[in-house]
């Protein structure tokens, strides 16, 4: 029993770790373990003058104004990201007056081709060797005879920016980083090589390697950083870079964490499309038309009319029959009606002499006087009863 309880606790712990960590990519603002950025998101969300948001739609649909757009851990999926979305899309965000923060990651499979990683580690390389981005070589059937050229580097051609391998020594802020006194914590062995003079170094080390740089585009700018560690939950718990975090959002009212390139996306449904194209009025009008059609086609459920008390029939069954006869038979036709019913039913069972039967028929068919009609009907009825009884 104890063994089963222990096994269940271990399975529960593994399930919690799996759901809390690996469900989202590294540096996702939805991830609460050391490799996520949820603490940073909560920090911006707690600031009264700042509004924090997550973007889970395609980046080309993002149209913010005067905002800080955070793309953390870009290096883990930059090869796919740069193929599906040109760097000009980020330039568009910056041109609209936003500050776009692009943070790369650690040196891993996104920097080096896995098939050539073992061979590259055996070669003697210079400390500041420029690494290709991405370092994927075209396949060749005859690689021994001819070495294929590497694919174009969009980061270099479009932005004039190259990642280099470098171990930081004594990072410090440059005078261009106005308001930034303490540099963020630096962990990855990467640095930025600026091939375009439009880039302004913000954080460098004693050897002159650039770790953070900024470039203006229109009314905004793009801030490139060689590492994403300083944004992670682990960094904010151990080596908190509060000065840099506040410096990024110094004049922005909104912070947007892009989750779409990390695999967290959503598909617009009917309601989402209606909101996007502002079809609220059309939907309300259509709903009113449907309600009017239902109202017109439905039956009216009105309460029944209340009958007056004197219209209700009370008493034995014969009283009800008497009331029915009074409503459907005129007094002048009463004797004739009784005679017809008698002939159809009771005459065959009761032997009445022919003479008496003739007299009874005459009494029923003779014209009744207008005056004292009810008295005459009653006297004739009594005479008929005596004739049928053989007393007259």
Measured CA angle at 39 (ends 34, 43), to 5 deg: 160
Q: Summarize pLDDT for 92-122 with one digit per residue, the tens.
A: 999 999 999 998 875 443 333 334 434 544 4
Half-sphere CA count of 250, side-chain side, radius 13 A: 9
Q: What is the pLDDT of residue 379?
A: 87
Q: Summarize pLDDT for 37-89 with one digit per residue, the tens.
A: 999 999 999 998 899 999 988 888 889 989 999 998 765 445 545 555 568 88
Decide which of 144 and 94 is more confident: 94
Question: Three-state DSSP class for 214?
Answer: strand
Low-confidence winner among 143-147, 148-152, 315-319 (lowest mean pLDDT): 143-147
Q: What is the pLDDT of residue 153?
A: 65
Q: Summarize pLDDT for 335-355 with one digit per residue, the tens.
A: 888 888 888 876 555 667 888
Helix, strand, coil percentages (3-state) for the chain, rounded to 5, are 45, 15, 45
Nearest-angstrom CA–CA distance, 370 and 140: 128
Decide which of 202 and 130 is more confident: 202
pLDDT bin (cut points 50, 70, 90) of residue 132 is very low
Q: What is the pLDDT of residue 75?
A: 58
Considering the chain, what is the average pLDDT of its residues? 76
* Predicted model pTM: 0.56
Q: How far from the centroid of its chain's Cα atoms is residue 352's Cα?
A: 93
Decide which of 320 and 246 is more confident: 246
């Amino acid at each position: 029993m104890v063994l089963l309880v222990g096994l269940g606790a271990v399975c529960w712990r593994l399930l919690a770790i799996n759901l809390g960590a690996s469900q989202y990519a590294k540096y996702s603002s939805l991830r609460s373990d050391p490799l996520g950025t949820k603490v940073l998101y909560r920090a911006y969300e707690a600031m009264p003058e700042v509004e924090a948001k997550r973007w889970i739609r395609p980046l080309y649909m993002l149209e913010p104004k005067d905002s800080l757009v955070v793309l953390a851990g870009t290096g883990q999926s930059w090869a796919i990201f740069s193929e599906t979305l040109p760097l000009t899309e980020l330039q568009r965000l910056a041109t609209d007056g936003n500050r776009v923060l692009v943070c790369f990651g650690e040196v891993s499979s996104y920097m080096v081709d896995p098939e050539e990683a073992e061979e590259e580690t055996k070669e003697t390389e210079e400390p500041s060797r420029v690494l290709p981005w991405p370092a994927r070589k075209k396949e060749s059937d005859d690689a021994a005879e001819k070495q294929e050229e590497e694919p174009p580097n969009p980061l270099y051609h479009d932005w004039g920016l190259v990642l280099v391998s470098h171990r930081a020594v004594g990072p410090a802020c440059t005078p261009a980083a106005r308001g930034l006194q303490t540099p963020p914590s630096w962990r990855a062995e990467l640095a930025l090589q600026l091939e375009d003079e439009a880039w302004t170094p913000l954080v460098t080390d004693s050897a002159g390697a650039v770790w953070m740089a900024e470039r203006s585009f229109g009314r905004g700018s793009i801030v490139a950083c060689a590492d994403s560690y300083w944004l992670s939950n682990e960094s904010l718990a151990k080596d908190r870079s509060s000065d840099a975090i506040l410096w990024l959002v110094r004049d922005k009212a909104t912070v947007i964490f892009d989750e779409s390139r990390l695999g967290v996306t959503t598909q617009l449904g009917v309601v989402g499309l209606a909101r996007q194209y502002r079809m609220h009025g059309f939907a309300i009008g259509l709903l009113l038309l449907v309600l009017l059609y239902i109202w017109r086609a439905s039956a009216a459920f009105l309460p029944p009319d209340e009958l007056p008390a004197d219209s209700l029939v009370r008493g034995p069954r014969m009283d009800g029959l008497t009331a029915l006869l009074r409503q459907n038979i005129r007094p002048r036709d009463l004797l004739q009606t009784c005679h017809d019913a008698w002939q159809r039913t009771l005459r065959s069972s009761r032997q009445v002499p022919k003479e008496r039967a003739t007299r009874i028929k005459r009494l029923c068919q003779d014209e009744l006087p207008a005056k004292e009609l009810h008295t005459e009907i009653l006297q004739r009825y009594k005479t008929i009863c005596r004739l049928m009884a053989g007393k007259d």
